[in-house]
Structure 1
C-alpha cells in the first residue's frame, strides 16, 4: 500500500472476529454513554431518578432500560451460537442504573474473553432462527450480516431515539462513539 491507496488486486480481509467483537465492544461503550445522558437528562429536567429507564417510543416496544438488558443477552446468545457453544441463560437485570452498567460491564468482559480462532468457522456454519423476527436456516455470512449485527445496532439506535425523543442532546456523534483516527490500522 502506498500513500493510503490500495493497488489493484490488493484486498483487506476482515475476520468474523473483526466485524463482531471490537464492533460490539464499541457499541456497548456507546450504550454506557447513553446511561450518562439519561441521568443527565433526569437531573437537568428535574425528573424522577430512573424515569428515563421506563420511557419507550411506542406501545409494545421495549423501554429504554430494556434495550440494554436485551442487547447484552443477545450479544451473548449470538456470539455463543457463532462459537458453537451452549446457549447462555438470559439474565434478568433490575432496571436501575448501577445494574444496567454492571450488565454492560459483564458483557464487555465476556466479549474480551473471545479469541479470534473461536469464530473462524462461524462463516461456514448454518444457523437456525425461530420466530419472532425470522424463521429458517441462514448461512454464516447472512446470519452475521443481516441478523447479528443488525439486531445489535437496532437496540442502540432505539436507545438513541428514546433519548432524543425525551430531549437529550444526543446525535450521530454520540451514536458513533469515541472514534479515534488511525485506530489500530496503518493508514500511512
Structure 2
C-alpha cells in the first residue's frame, strides 16, 4: 500500500490544528472561569528553558504552513490571537489541492536548522521533520495547559473520529 504526500500531510495537519484550536479554547475558558490572567497561561512553560505556550503554537503553525521562522510575526499575546493564527493556517491548508503536493516525495527541500542549511528529500522532510515537529509542539502546548490545571484529556488531543 502506498500513501500520497497529500494524504500523509494535509488532512492530518488540519485535524491536529483543529484539535489544537479546541485545546486553546479550553485554556481560554479555564482562565475565564477561574479568573486567571490569560497572559500568565499564554506565557506559561513546562520548564524555564522551554518555549512558552504561545511559541509552541507559533512553531506548530509555522511548520505546518511551511513558513520560515521569521515569515510571520510572532506577536500573539492572547488565546483569541493564537486561535486566529491557527485558524488562518487551517484556512490556508484547506486551499491546497492534492496535485500541488503530489510528486514532491523526491523534491529537495532546503531549510535552516540550528544555523545551518539542511537539505532533505520531500518525503524524508515530511516524515522525519515536519510531522514529528507538529506533534511535538501541539503535545507540548497541551501539556503546558494540562500542567496548569486545564481539564484536558486524550480525546481533546486526538479529536473525534
Aligned-pair CA distance for 1:130: 2.9
CA distance in 1, matches of 2:106, 2:18: 30
* Residues 5 and 101 in structure 2, CA contact (< 8 A), matched pair in contact too: yes
Aligned to 1:21: 10
Unmatched runs of 5 consecutive residues or more in structure 2: none
C-alpha displacement of 1:29:
0.6
TM-score (norm 1): 0.76
Structure 1 residues 103-132: Cα deviation after superposition (integer angstroms, max 9, x where no partner) = 112111110111100111210112234322
| Number of aligned residue pairs | 161
Q: 1:53 to 1:88 in 2, by over 3 A?
A: closer
* TM-score, normalising length: structure 2: 0.88
Mapped to 1, the partners of 2:83 and 2:75 lie a distance apart of 10
Once the two structures are superposed, residues 125-145 of structure 1 have per-residue CA deviations (whole angstroms, 9 ceiling, x without a partner) of 122343229863322221111
Higher Cα radius of gyration = 1
Among 113, 117, 120, the residue aligned to 2:99:
117
Query: Is 2:65 aligned against 1:76?
Result: yes
3-state DSSP of counterpart to 1:91: coil
Q: For the Cα contact (< 8 Å) 1:129–1:137, is it kept in 2?
A: yes
Asked if 1:91 is matched to 2:80, the reply is no
Q: Compute the RMSD of aligned alpha carbons.
A: 2.3
- The aligned residue for residue 40 of structure 2 is 51
Q: Which runs of 5+ in 1 are unaligned?
A: 1-10, 82-86, 180-188
1:158 CA displacement: 0.1
